[in-house]
């Protein structure tokens, strides 16, 4: 079995869920509404609510246009609704609905039951984000084939905000003089906001089997914060502080941070095919009969660090190939890839197992 893991970086693009035909939207960004810097960023994601994360990554994965990235999808959702989902906070004066702000007519074209609950609804996070991704992916393709000068991402965003007919009229992004600068400013805000959501490049895992499958699942959580005691088989959650662990700058960070610790990430990655226990020491105990030498590591293997003996194991990571590990390192950090040699103190490396 050959498993290839490669870091992928894509150019950044984001969807904008106003209707085709000008929908009035808020064009205010706290950071810099006039920023013009455009960053390609990476294929990763950070700073989004956990309930949006999986769907943003899935929408990005399903779009094969090079302009699409998770960070741009996240930036658009932030601009549209600030990730709000209630009718009170996510209904515009023009009648746009849900976290991606779909008008009913536009929803009829792009909406589907992505989350499998029996109803296609602009209020369901999964349905809304996946529809957002499909619509913007189509606009990106249209922009790429148009032959117009300028960034295809900007063209697609302008088409989303003002309608593609306006892009054709101006053969590019409408100028500041059009509609009081609404479309021009909208594009600038999305590009500016995008940077805050750019996480580390994601891993693309090729191959099959429990190890690659677990690594692939864990890789979807890159950029998720570390939270001591947080996370479980279902996904990230808030943690707790125990008097020693979970603190950042003198305060209990874990209790307000939705994330994983090292062993909950491993538990999540392998569940439900392999039902590992919750703590790193218990995970070693459950798999120690399948020890693996350091020279024979394969993607998905578990690596352990200890202060002395199996009873003092304090950290677990997933082997990611090419001498790297994927892990949730410590409070203040995020789920990320690191070299095996420096992920934790080399002297503490205890061994590896294959679940």
| Domain finish residue from 153, 173, 197 | 197
239 and 330 belong to one structural domain: yes
254 and 120 belong to one structural domain: no
| Domain finish residue from 170, 197, 224 | 197
140 and 243 belong to one structural domain: no
Which pLDDT tens digits describe the chain residue by residue (355 residues)?
323 333 333 333 333 333 333 333 333 333 332 222 233 334 578 888 888 988 998 999 899 898 898 998 999 999 899 999 999 999 999 899 999 999 999 999 999 999 999 999 999 999 999 999 999 999 999 999 999 988 999 999 998 888 899 999 999 999 999 999 999 998 999 999 998 998 766 677 877 899 999 999 999 888 889 999 999 999 999 999 999 999 999 999 999 999 999 999 999 999 999 999 999 999 999 999 999 999 999 999 999 999 999 999 999 999 999 889 999 999 999 898 989 999 999 999 999 999 9
Provide long-range contacts, Cβ within 8 A and 24+ apart, for 274-282.
Answer: 274/210, 274/214, 274/355, 275/233, 276/355, 278/232, 280/304, 280/313, 280/314, 280/315, 280/316, 281/310, 281/311, 281/312, 281/313
* DSSP 8-state symbol, 290: G
Please say whether the beta carbons of 86 and 94 come within 8 A: no
Continuous H helices in 19-100 = 50-62, 70-81
184 and 290 belong to one structural domain: no
84 and 148 belong to one structural domain: yes
| Domain finish residue from 197, 229, 250 | 197
| CA 197 from centre of chain | 8
Query: Is residue 160, in this structure, part of any structural domain at all?
Result: yes
Q: What is the CATH number of the domain that holds 183?
A: 1.10.530.10
Can you tell me the distance from the alpha carbon of 265 to that of 214, in angstroms, rounded to the nearest whole number?
10
Domain span at residue 125 reads 4-197
Q: Which residues contact 205 (CB under 8 A, 6 or more apart)?
A: 3, 4, 5, 212, 215, 216, 219, 299
160 and 217 belong to one structural domain: no
* Element counts in the chain: helices (H) and strands (E): 11, 12
Query: Is residue 205, in this structure, part of any structural domain at all?
Result: no
72 and 132 belong to one structural domain: yes
Q: What is the CATH number of the domain that holds 289?
A: 3.90.1720.10
238 and 155 belong to one structural domain: no
Q: What is the count of structural domains for the chain? A: 2
55 and 190 belong to one structural domain: yes
Query: Is residue 203, in this structure, part of any structural domain at all?
Result: no
pLDDT value for 216: 93
pLDDT value for 170: 96
**To which H or E segment does residue 281 belong?**
helix 280-287
pTM score above 0.75: no
pLDDT value for 43: 58
134 and 238 belong to one structural domain: no
117 and 41 belong to one structural domain: yes
Query: Is residue 202, in this structure, part of any structural domain at all?
Result: no
Can you tell me the distance from the alpha carbon of 303 to that of 285, in angstroms, rounded to the nearest whole number?
12
Query: Is residue 147, in this structure, part of any structural domain at all?
Result: yes
149 and 266 belong to one structural domain: no
Q: Provide the β-strand partners of residue 252.
A: 247
């Amino acid at each position: 079995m050959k498993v290839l893991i490669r870091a992928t970086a894509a150019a950044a693009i984001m969807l904008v869920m106003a209707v085709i035909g000008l929908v009035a939207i808020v064009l205010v960004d706290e950071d810099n509404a006039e920023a013009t810097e455009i960053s390609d960023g990476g294929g990763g994601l950070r700073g989004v609510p956990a309930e949006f994360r999986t769907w943003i990554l899935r929408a990005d994965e399903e779009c094969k246009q090079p302009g699409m990235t998770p960070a741009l999808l996240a930036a658009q959702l932030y601009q549209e609704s600030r990730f709000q989902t209630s009718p009170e906070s996510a209904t515009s004066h023009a009648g746009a609905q849900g976290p991606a702000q779909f008008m009913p007519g536009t929803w009829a074209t792009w909406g589907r039951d992505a989350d499998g609950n029996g109803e296609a609804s602009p209020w369901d996070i999964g349905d809304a984000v996946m529809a957002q991704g499909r619509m913007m992916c189509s606009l990106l393709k249209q922009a790429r084939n148009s032959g117009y000068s300028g960034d295809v991402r900007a063209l697609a965003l302008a088409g989303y905000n003002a309608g593609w007919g306006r892009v054709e009229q101006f053969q590019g992004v409408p100028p500041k003089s059009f509609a009081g600068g609404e479309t021009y400013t909208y594009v600038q805000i999305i590009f500016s906001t995008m940077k805050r959501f750019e996480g580390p490049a994601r891993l693309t895992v090729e191959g099959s089997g429990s190890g690659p499958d677990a690594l692939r699942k864990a890789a979807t959580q890159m950029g998720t914060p570390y939270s001591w005691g947080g996370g479980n088989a279902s996904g990230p959650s808030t943690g707790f502080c125990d008097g020693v662990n979970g603190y950042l700058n003198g305060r209990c960070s874990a209790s307000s941070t939705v994330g994983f610790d090292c062993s909950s990430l491993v538990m999540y990655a392998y569940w439900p095919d392999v039902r590992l226990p919750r703590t790193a020491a218990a995970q070693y105990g459950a798999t120690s009969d399948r020890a693996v030498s350091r020279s024979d590591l394969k993607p998905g293997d578990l690596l352990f660090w200890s202060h002395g003996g199996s009873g003092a194991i304090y950290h677990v990571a997933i082997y990611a190939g090419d001498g790297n590990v994927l892990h949730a390192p410590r409070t203040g950090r995020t789920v990320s890839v690191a070299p095996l040699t420096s992920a934790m103190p080399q002297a503490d490396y205890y061994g590896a197992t294959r679940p």
